[in-house]
């Protein structure tokens, strides 16, 4: 029996509904990691460092899809909860159109300005050339990447989370197979990795688009619509926290890489790249859960069922806390083996990576609560609070930490920066939950 947004959710039903988007995000993260694995082991650490240096900029542009997906999904799910399905379909169609237009414009701008950006980040010579080659190929596929990000959320809102998982699996298998073929087989180097990723993003964006263009049995349809710029602005404002998370993560990654180039050279950037790849997989569990839970919260908020919203909040916080403890323990155990997989060819680099991961893994204790709390307020259509939490966690606290702590602790300060930032964010998240409890009745 399928689970509906209107159902009552106990722990079992909540986890069952959220498992497909969790698996979807884990797999998305894993196939992103595959690029790094092949580039590091078959092309070399200079190319690996180049990928990690320029990829955050590409992610900033692709993050617009996350914004329209999160903010638009909250608006659509709330509208469904109010019982107005035709208007929900018009909003959904408008988000897809806006994503395509934004993708074309942002891709063109990114391709033009990529080299000066790479140079500003500290790339020189061969590393700068690798940054430009990899980045420009990826940006050629950026519109598809943005659609993939958009549909990851909307397939859950359409009550088709398993379809979202299937599309992600198809994209992931495509990427991994083509990485092996282009990089390890044909020896196309960093260009082969970029082409493999771009084709996989096309698969991830095109399959859901084809599904919604055809007659289907979901609660959402693509339909004739006109641009409602007021609704689009509300969706963008509400989803701004997700865009801010993406931008902040990318800007912070650039700042981390800049500090590491200064303190440890290419080895530092390569070690940080391994940390980010592994963190993608671990944090994907939290992000996937929020993708699944957010439409449920939005629906019951639109239906004015405060009791269900309260129950969802309490269950989610307990789940995030428990999973965070388990992740921290697992990360400590896997630090050595994971470092060996990526950079086992260089003993000093492997030791640096293992040590850094032991420190950074402490952030998992509170990161889940922070990620969920930001998403929770997005689901309640309170984009301001959500954006403040995301802005402080993703940008302010991390930037301050990575600028100040290395002055006091040197290279160690870089590794501790993410932990300190998430602890500060945890205090902010808990404070907002306490202050807003009467307004939303939870």
- Going from the C-alpha of 20 to that of each of 123, 134, 145, 202, 335, the distances in angstroms are 39, 31, 20, 21, 27
pLDDT at 313 over 90: yes
pLDDT value at residue 352: 92
331 touches 282 (CB < 8 A): yes
Residues 355-391: tens digit of each pLDDT: 999 999 999 999 999 999 999 998 888 888 988 888 8
CA separation for the pair 362, 278 (Å, rounded): 14
CA separation for the pair 334, 17 (Å, rounded): 29
Please report how the helices 240-302 and 229-238 are oriented relative to each other, as an axis angle in degrees rounded to 10: 100
401 touches 346 (CB < 8 A): no
Alpha-helical regions (H) of 7-141: 11-42, 45-81, 85-120, 125-139
Q: What tokens appear for 181 in the block?
A: 């073929």
pLDDT value at residue 35: 77
- Of residues 59 and 108, more confidently modeled: 108
pLDDT at 178 over 70: yes
pLDDT tier for residue 137 given thresholds of 50, 70 and 90: very high
Question: What are the structural domain ranges in the chain?
Answer: 11-440
R_g of the chain, CA atoms, integer Å: 21
pLDDT tier for residue 156 given thresholds of 50, 70 and 90: confident
- Going from the C-alpha of 23 to that of each of 30, 147, 281, 282, 405, the distances in angstroms are 10, 19, 10, 11, 35
76 touches 157 (CB < 8 A): yes
174 touches 137 (CB < 8 A): no
CA separation for the pair 149, 270 (Å, rounded): 26
- Going from the C-alpha of 172 to that of each of 123, 161, 202, 382, 431, the distances in angstroms are 29, 16, 11, 33, 39
Mean residue pLDDT of the chain comes to 88
pLDDT value at residue 391: 83
pLDDT tier for residue 74 given thresholds of 50, 70 and 90: confident
* Interacting residues of 318 by C-beta distance below 8 A, sequence separation 6+: none
pLDDT at 1 over 70: no
- Taking residues 294-310, report their average pLDDT: 88
CA separation for the pair 435, 147 (Å, rounded): 36
Residues 18-32: tens digit of each pLDDT: 888 898 788 777 766
- Taking residues 243-255, report their average pLDDT: 75
Residues 221-247: tens digit of each pLDDT: 899 888 888 889 988 887 776 676 677
pLDDT value at residue 224: 87
CA separation for the pair 313, 319 (Å, rounded): 10
* Interacting residues of 331 by C-beta distance below 8 A, sequence separation 6+: 278, 282, 357, 361, 364
CA separation for the pair 371, 248 (Å, rounded): 13
- What distance separates the 2 farthest-apart alpha carbons in the chain? 61
Q: What tokens appear for 56 in the block?
A: 């955050």
pLDDT value at residue 252: 81
103 touches 143 (CB < 8 A): yes
* Interacting residues of 64 by C-beta distance below 8 A, sequence separation 6+: 99, 102, 103, 106, 146, 243
- Taking residues 149-176, report their average pLDDT: 88
Q: Which of 414, 277, 274 is nearest to 344 (CA)?
A: 274
Say whether 289 sits in a helix, a strand or coil: helix
CA 158, chain centre distance (Å): 20
pLDDT value at residue 31: 67
- Going from the C-alpha of 142 to that of each of 7, 99, 222, 227, the distances in angstroms are 37, 11, 22, 23
Place of tokens 């060819």: 345
């Amino acid at each position: 029996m399928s689970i509906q947004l209107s159902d009552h959710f106990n722990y079992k039903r909540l986890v069952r509904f959220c498992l497909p988007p969790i698996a979807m995000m884990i797999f998305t993260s894993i196939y992103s990691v595959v690029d790094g694995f092949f580039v590091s082991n078959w092309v070399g650490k200079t190319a690996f460092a180049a990928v990690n240096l320029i990829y955050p900029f590409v992610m900033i542009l692709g993050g617009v899809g996350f914004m329209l997906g999160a903010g638009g999904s909250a608006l659509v799910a709330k509208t469904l909860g109010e019982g107005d399905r035709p208007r929900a379909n018009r909003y959904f169609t408008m988000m897809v159109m806006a994503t395509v237009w934004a993708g074309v414009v942002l891709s063109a701008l990114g391709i033009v300005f990529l080299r000066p950006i790479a140079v500003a980040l500290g790339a020189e010579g061969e590393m700068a050339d690798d940054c430009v080659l990899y980045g420009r190929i990826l940006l050629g596929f950026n519109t598809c990447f943005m659609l993939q990000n958009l549909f990851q959320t909307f397939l859950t809102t359409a009550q088709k989370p398993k379809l979202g998982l299937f599309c992600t699996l198809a994209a992931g298998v495509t990427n991994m197979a083509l990485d092996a073929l282009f990089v390890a087989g044909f020896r196309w180097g960093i260009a082969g990795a970029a082409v493999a990723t771009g084709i996989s993003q096309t698969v991830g964006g095109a399959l859901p688009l084809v599904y919604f263009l055809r007659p289907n049995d979901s609660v959402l349809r693509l339909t004739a619509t006109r641009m409602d710029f007021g609704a689009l602005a509300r969706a963008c404002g509400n989803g701004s926290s997700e865009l801010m998370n993406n931008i902040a993560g990318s800007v912070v990654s650039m700042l981390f890489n800049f500090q590491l180039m200064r303190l440890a050279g290419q080895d530092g950037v390569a070690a940080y790249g391994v940390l980010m790849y592994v963190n993608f997989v671990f944090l994907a569990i939290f992000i996937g859960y929020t993708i699944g839970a957010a439409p449920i919260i939005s629906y019951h908020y639109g239906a004015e069922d405060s009791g269900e919203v309260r129950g969802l909040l309490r269950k989610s916080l307990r789940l995030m806390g428990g999973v965070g403890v388990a992740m921290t323990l697992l990360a400590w155990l896997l630090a050595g083996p994971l470092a060996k997989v990526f950079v086992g060819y260089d003993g000093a680099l492997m030791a640096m990576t293992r040590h850094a991961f032991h420190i950074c893994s402490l952030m998992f204790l509170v990161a889940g609560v922070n990620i969920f709390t930001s998403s929770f307020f997005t689901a309640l259509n309170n984009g301001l609070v959500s954006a403040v939490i995301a802005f402080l966690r993703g940008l302010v606290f991390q930037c301050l930490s990575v600028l100040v702590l290395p002055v006091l602790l040197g290279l160690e300060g870089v590794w501790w920066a993410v932990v300190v930032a998430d602890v500060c964010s945890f205090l902010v998240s808990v404070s907002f939950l306490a202050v807003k409890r009467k307004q939303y009745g939870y």
